[in-house]
Amino acid sequence: MDGLCAAGAKATAALLAELTPAGHWVGELSSSALATATAVVALAQVAREADGGLIRGGLRWLAQTQNADGGWGDTVHSKSNISTTALGWAAFGAARADGEFPAVLARAGAWLEKARGAQTHAATIAARYGKDRTFSVPILMTLALGGRSGWENVLPLPFELAALPHQVFGAVRLPVVSYALPALIAIGQAVHHHRPTRNPLARLIREALREKTLRVLASVQPENGGFLEATPLTSFVTMSLASMGLAEHPVAQKGAAFLRGAARADGSWPIDTNLATWVTTLAIDALAAQPRALSPEQKLTLRAWLLGQQYRAEHPYTHAAPGGWAWTDLPGGVPDADDTPGALLALLALGAVDAETRAAGIAGVRWLLGLQNGDGGIPTFCRGWGALPFDRSSPDLTAHTLRAWSAWLPQLDAGLKKRTARGIARALRFLAQTQRADGAWLPLWFGNEHAPGDENPVYGTAKVVLALRQLRDRGIAFPPALLRDAVRWLAAAQSADGGWSGARGGPASVEETALATEALAGTAEVAAVESGARWLCARVASGAWSEPAPIGFYFAKLWYYERLYPLIFTTAALSRVAALDG
């Protein structure tokens, strides 16, 4: 295909050029209006004079990046949404800066009035998240701290439950997702402080357990202060404690220090520090079709670095067993079921498996088996939590795990191989049960704000197709219709110009087009693959290919983009197509 070799070589060279001096990839997450707003509010609550420059820098960045309609989106490429706009609006109030930015505040207020319609701001925000209070309660608390709403609109959180043994958290059905324990404690205490519990028995219990749950909060805070390396979560915890007069508490001080260190030169904050482990494993996998793209020395360095990222002890935050990998190499990471299969696949892609690598791989396989839910699917962090969306089994994580399990089967002893085979069979049943009638699957951690319900069936289906094709090539049986219907759906979702969006009729992105092209390469959908490859080649030739799209879904309906995603996904797709031509 004309231009394919040149475009593929250019994509590969650009990806390799992003290797850091340390020998792995780090990437760069988008700046976030939501993260910036929460950091401003947190630092304003801490009320340290030295933070004035950071606070003013954040407000100026928000003013400069306000959308034309008066709202804010999660990234500078995102549509305005009520959560981020409300938090941006609150940030100016918390910093007592309304008078400095009257036009900004007038536009934001007008957008919010239009968005809420006949409802109150509180009701509109609560409706956005339904039963999941992981993000609605923090937003409403921030509005209260910014003087935009009253504490009567902030629902209480049962922070006293954090005093229970962690083994029962799933059973008690907390109103927040598994990774939000710090928010449950800190925000729950703040709500109780500003609007004390009316029930005298509940008030007595909560008062008695304040210090104990604060100790739990301190025990799960990483050494650098950043909970999950996430600016919003760390900000919510910090502002909660500071609002109660606990700005000098060690958790609040460490949280504020993390926020100061996470601020960018332009005044903004990213939603998370980095996805270094995740983008490194994706990059290695993308280059797997080009065995000589990485030198032997680079492969050794990458292998050693990846082995060093594996958790070898129970995690203090989620109490995850040893053997998993997180998305980052920083202290706030938590092992999860997308980064762990990513690391397992990357270790195999780097070449011959030595004893250390094999031991790490076996531990990773066991870790994923221990995470598998009763429905056969794979959740993100914790087995058995299923009340809220981001704790449930998901097709994209299950597909990624299937790829890792099937790839590692030859390295396992007979007993573990048998157990893994059973896990594979159960996971395939989960995929059969969750496939839509049209053949598609929906992912958990990626979406498309132009699609109905912010869903991204192109991403989810492409990931499952890649897994099913790998299983088929390894002789693992499953109903043929699973793959056949998915391939047909994916091909039919292609736009007339050869690109793919998260939904038919939406704007095509490099990431989604590359994922679909890679998944279909080598199937009977030759015309779709050729058209997708031409679309990618044209973008590479024009230079437009490196512009990332906000398809990443972060906790609780937050969007992000990652600068390396277009480079990684394009390299993977064009390498796979070129291998077929070769």
pLDDT at 405 (0 to 100): 98
pLDDT at 120 (0 to 100): 82
Query: Do residues 186 and 295 share a domain?
Result: no
Strand 558-560 versus strand 269-270 pairing type: unpaired
Q: Report d(CA 411, CA 348) in Å as an integer.
A: 10
Provide the 3-class DSSP secondary structure of residue 228.
helix
pLDDT at 170 (0 to 100): 55
pLDDT at 163 (0 to 100): 86
pLDDT at 305 (0 to 100): 98
For the chain, give the mean pLDDT: 92
CATH of the domain at 289: 1.50.10.20
* pLDDT-wise least confident of 162-171, 244-253, 315-324, 461-470: 162-171
Query: Do residues 300 and 424 share a domain?
Result: yes
Structure confidence by residue, pLDDT tens digits, 256-265: 999 999 999 9
pLDDT at 389 (0 to 100): 64
Structure confidence by residue, pLDDT tens digits, 50-85: 899 999 999 999 999 999 999 999 999 999 999 999
User: Which residue intervals of 435-473 are DSSP H helices?
Assistant: 457-473
Listed residues 270, 288, 306: the one ending a domain:
270
Query: Do residues 20 and 88 share a domain?
Result: no
pLDDT at 143 (0 to 100): 95
Query: Do residues 234 and 286 share a domain?
Result: no
Query: Do residues 298 and 353 share a domain?
Result: yes
What residues have CB less than 8 Å from 568, skipping those under 6 apart? 15, 279, 282, 283, 286
pLDDT at 297 (0 to 100): 97
Query: Do residues 186 and 248 share a domain?
Result: yes
Query: Do residues 235 and 366 share a domain?
Result: no
Structure confidence by residue, pLDDT tens digits, 383-406: 866 566 667 899 999 999 999 999
What average pLDDT does the segment 228-244 reach? 96
Structure confidence by residue, pLDDT tens digits, 469-519: 999 999 999 999 999 999 999 999 999 999 999 877 889 999 999 999 999
What residues have CB less than 8 Å from 526, skipping those under 6 apart? none
Structure confidence by residue, pLDDT tens digits, 327-336: 999 999 999 9
pLDDT at 558 (0 to 100): 80
- DSSP E strand boundaries for 312-467: none
What residues have CB less than 8 Å from 201, skipping those under 6 apart? none
* pLDDT-wise least confident of 417-426, 518-527, 543-552: 543-552
Listed residues 247, 270, 293: the one ending a domain:
270
Query: Do residues 500 and 543 share a domain?
Result: yes
Query: Do residues 143 and 211 share a domain?
Result: yes
Residue 446 DSSP code:
B
- Give the pLDDT band of residue 542 (cuts 50, 70, 90): very high
pLDDT at 215 (0 to 100): 95
Helix pair 355-371, 339-349: axis angle to 10 deg:
150
Listed residues 241, 270, 299: the one ending a domain:
270
Amino acid at 163: A
pLDDT at 354 (0 to 100): 96
**What is the number of other CB atoms lying within 10 angstroms of the CB of residue 92?**
26
Residue 272 DSSP code:
B
Distance of CA 372 to the CA centre of its chain: 20
pLDDT at 317 (0 to 100): 77
Structure confidence by residue, pLDDT tens digits, 146-205: 999 999 999 888 888 888 876 655 555 555 556 678 998 999 999 999 999 888 888 899
Query: Do residues 209 and 92 share a domain?
Result: yes
Dihedral angle computed from the Cα positions of residues 179, 180, 186 and 188, in that order, rounded to the nearest 10 degrees: -140
Amino acid at 425: A
pLDDT at 117 (0 to 100): 80
pLDDT at 202 (0 to 100): 85
Query: Do residues 237 and 352 share a domain?
Result: no
- Give the pLDDT band of residue 408 (cuts 50, 70, 90): very high
Query: Do residues 52 and 10 share a domain?
Result: no
Residue 321 pLDDT greater than 80, yes or no: yes
Count of domains observed in the chain: 2
pLDDT at 454 (0 to 100): 87
Distance of CA 16 to the CA centre of its chain: 24
Share of the chain above pLDDT 90, in %: 79
Task: Note down the domain range covering 408.
Answer: 4-26+274-581
* pLDDT-wise least confident of 129-138, 477-486, 500-509, 537-546: 129-138
Task: Name the more confident of 389 and 220.
Answer: 220
Share of the chain above pLDDT 70, in %: 95
First-to-last alpha carbon distance for the chain, in angstroms, is 11
pLDDT at 557 (0 to 100): 67
Which among 504, 507, 499 is positioned nearest to 573, based on CA atoms?
A: 499
